[in-house]
């Protein structure tokens, strides 16, 4: 691709690596494009954040295509991952340490699969306190890290598919298809409650956004190699 191609607008599919923030991916790719074509400025943005502890599909838009970011953000998403049953964390994932443990002896594969049905359709969900949502001008995770508690309003989200794909307690693998704004960490927490136990998200991978699949995405290193060869 040429400098003009990037400025006119490209949709880039990137497989986000573990521990990277979505912004780190954007900044790295923007820097590589600027270096390759010796340009001072190029717009690059992502269509939907992935947590640092998640991997998978990140859609990046360049140049004029950044105007379409909202279109991609609104599309349905598919995730796969692992819930760890019998313990919760304040962040609902591995960002924080386990704070409570719960019994799991009563949990069978049948109960796990039955319980998924409670979450299919339109549901009310509270975002995690450790999230990037803003309240009174501050991001919730900033308040959470200071130990401040705040009331979070539930929001309506839609889960169209929720299946358990493998059970090896305490680990339970799943696949979810859901609307924009769904927090899989909150789903893990609520799923644990519904099981009369506890749960947190230990692995998360975004596999699809609309018709885009992570199978067609490049790693950051693959993209850098591609840009340098252009």
Count of Cβ atoms closer than 10 Å to residue 66 Cβ: 17
pLDDT at 115: 98
- Residue 51's alpha-carbon distances to 20, 27, 184, 195, 220, in angstroms, are 8, 16, 11, 25, 16
Is there a single domain that holds both residue 89 and residue 125?
yes
The answer to whether residues 8 and 83 belong to one domain is no
**Residue 152: per-residue pLDDT:** 74
Average pLDDT rounded to a whole number, residues 14-32: 97
Peptide bond connecting 170 to the previous residue in cis, omega within 30 degrees of 0:
yes
pLDDT tens digits, 187-203: 999 999 999 999 999 99
Mark residue 223 as left, alpha or beta (left: phi above 0; alpha: psi -120 to 50; beta: remaining): alpha
**Cβ neighbours of 72 (radius 10 Å):** 19
- Write the pLDDT tens digit of every residue in 101-128: 999 999 999 999 999 999 999 999 988 8
Per residue in 129-183, pLDDT (tens digit) is: 766 555 556 655 565 556 556 667 899 999 999 999 999 999 999 999 999 999 9
Domain total in the chain: 2
81, 70: one domain? no
Quick check: is 51 catalytic? yes
Q: Are residues 66 and 143 in the same domain?
A: no
Percentage with pLDDT > 90 across the chain: 83
**Predicted pLDDT at 140:** 55
Beta bridge partners, 124, equal 156
Output 27 or 134, whichever has higher pLDDT: 27
Work out whether the CA dihedral 63, 66, 67, 72 comes out positive or negative: positive
- Same domain, yes or no: 157 and 120: yes
pLDDT of residue 230: 86
Residue 195: count other Cβ atoms within 10 Å of its Cβ.
22
The strand pairing partners of 87, in sequence order, are 101
* CB 94, CB 53: distance < 8 Å: yes
113 and 28, same domain (yes or no)? no
Q: How far apart are CA 160 and CA 157, in angstroms?
A: 10
The pLDDT value given to residue 137? 60
pLDDT, average across residues 15-40: 96
Asked whether the predicted pLDDT for residue 53 surpasses 80, the reply is: yes
Q: Are residue 161 and residue 118 in the same domain, yes or no? A: yes
Is the same domain home to 8 and 81? Answer: no
Does 51 score more than 80 pLDDT? Answer: yes
Residue 223 and residue 202 share a domain: no
Q: Please choose, from the candidates 132, 137, 145, 168, the residue with its C-alpha nearest in 3D space to the C-alpha of residue 51.
A: 132
Quick check: helix, strand or coil at residue 217?
coil
Q: Looking at residue 153, what is its pLDDT?
A: 83
Distance CA 177, CA 116 (A): 12
Range(s) of the domain holding residue 67: 3-74+211-229
Let me know whether 195 and 97 are in one domain.
yes
CA distances from 84 to 41, 59, 63, 125 (A): 44, 28, 41, 19
Query: The CATH number of the domain where 64 resides is what?
Result: 3.30.2350.10
| Residue among 5, 15, 51, 93 flagged as catalytic | 51
Note the pLDDT tens digit of each residue in 64-102: 999 999 999 999 999 999 999 999 998 999 999 999 999
Question: What is the rounded end-to-end Cα distance, in angstroms, of the chain?
Answer: 6
> Does 91 lie in the same domain as 196?
yes
Same domain for 98 and 56?
no
Contact criterion met (CB below 8 Å) for 83 and 43: no
Residues 81 and 205: beta-carbon distance below 8 Å: yes
């Amino acid at each position: 691709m040429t400098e003009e191609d990037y400025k006119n607008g490209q949709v880039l599919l990137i497989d986000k690596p573990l521990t990277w923030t979505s912004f780190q991916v954007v900044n790295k790719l923007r820097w590589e494009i600027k270096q390759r074509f010796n340009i001072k400025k190029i717009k690059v943005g992502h269509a939907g954040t992935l947590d640092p502890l998640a991997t998978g599909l990140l859609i990046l838009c360049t140049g004029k295509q950044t105007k379409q970011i909202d279109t991609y953000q609104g599309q349905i998403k598919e995730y796969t991952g692992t819930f760890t049953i019998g313990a919760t964390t304040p962040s609902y994932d591995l960002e924080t340490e386990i704070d409570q443990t719960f019994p799991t002896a009563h949990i069978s594969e049948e109960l796990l699969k039955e319980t998924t049905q409670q979450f299919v359709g339109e549901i009310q969900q509270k975002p995690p306190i450790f999230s990037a949502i803003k309240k009174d001008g501050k991001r919730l995770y900033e308040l959470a890290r200071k130990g401040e508690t705040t009331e979070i309003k539930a929001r309506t989200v839609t889960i169209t598919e929720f299946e358990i794909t493998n059970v090896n307690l305490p680990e339970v693998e799943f696949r979810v298809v859901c609307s924009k704004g769904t927090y899989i960490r909150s789903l893990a927490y609520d799923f644990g409650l519904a099981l009369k136990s506890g749960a947190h998200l230990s692995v998360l991978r975004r596999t699809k956004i609309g018709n885009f699949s992570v199978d067609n995405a490049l790693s950051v290193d693959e993209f850098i190699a591609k840009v340098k060869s252009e």
